[in-house]
Amino acid sequence: MVRLFRAVADGVNRGVFADTKDFKCYVSCLLDIMQVARKGKVNYEKSLKQIDTMLPENMKPAFRAGLEACKSAAQGIKDHCEAAAILLQCFYKNNPMFVFP
Residue 88 lies in a domain: yes
Q: Cα torsion at 55, 64, 92, 41 (round to 10°)?
A: 100
- For residue 101, being part of any structural domain is answered with no
| Domain CATH number, residue 85 | 1.10.238.20
**Residue 90 within a domain:** yes
Residue 44: domain span: 1-94
Please give the model's pTM, rounded to 2 decimal places: 0.89
In a domain, residue 100? The reply is no
Say what the pLDDT of residue 42 is: 94
pLDDT band at 63 (very low <50, low <70, confident <90, very high): very high
- Is 71 domain-assigned? yes
Residue 18 lies in a domain: yes
Between 19-28, 55-64, 65-74, the lowest mean confidence (pLDDT) is in 19-28
In a domain, 28, yes or no: yes
Rounded-to-integer distance, Cα 93 and Cα 98, Å: 8
Phi and psi torsions of 51, nearest 5°: -60, -50
Task: Return d(Cα 48, Cα 20) in angstroms, integer.
Answer: 29
Cα(66)–Cα(2) distance, rounded to whole angstroms? Answer: 29
Query: Which CA distances in Å does 51 have to 14, 20, 45, 72?
Result: 22, 29, 10, 18
Q: Give domain status of residue 60, yes or no.
A: yes
